[in-house]
Amino acid sequence: MTPVSAREAGFLLIILSTAVYGGVAILRLLIFDPRHTQNKLRQDFWRAGHAHAGVILILSLVALLYVDQANLSDWWKWLVRICIPLAAALLPMGFVLSMLLPEPTKPNKFYYLTYVGAFLLSVGLVVLGVGLLST
């Protein structure tokens, strides 16, 4: 692993603790604030946001193991190293921020962050996949 990937992996491991904190915060709200347990839509969106954060952060760490082996220029490697972790932030933010109001009946415009995150995740994974296939 190159020093660049190792440094990013270190940051991602530290950032992963925020996903743990987010899970505890959601659990606390669900236990101590009955308004949150009464809104199934909010529960589903927050659960989805939290799950996506953790899974995509782990995927970011796995991708770092492969990016240095891929047949990609430094610019494309940089793009992969940015896109996948950025998706780990934007996709969950779209789920969580779209349900901030106490009684949401539908997601607000922050939901569009999920599409941006999904696009970035796809770009990072496709570029990495092509780079690995061309080695």
Going from the C-alpha of 65 to that of each of 4, 58, 88, 128, the distances in angstroms are 11, 11, 17, 11
C-alpha span between 5 and 65 (Å, rounded): 8
Cβ 42 vs Cβ 101: under 8 Å: no
What is the per-residue pLDDT across 21-58, written as a single tens digit (0 to 9) for each? Answer: 877 877 787 788 777 777 888 888 888 888 888 899 99
Give the predicted TM-score (pTM) of the model. Answer: 0.86
DSSP state letter for 109: G
- Residue 107: both structure tokens together: 């997601």
Those residues whose C-beta lies under 8 Å from the C-beta of residue 43, and which sit 6 or more positions away, are 30, 36, 37
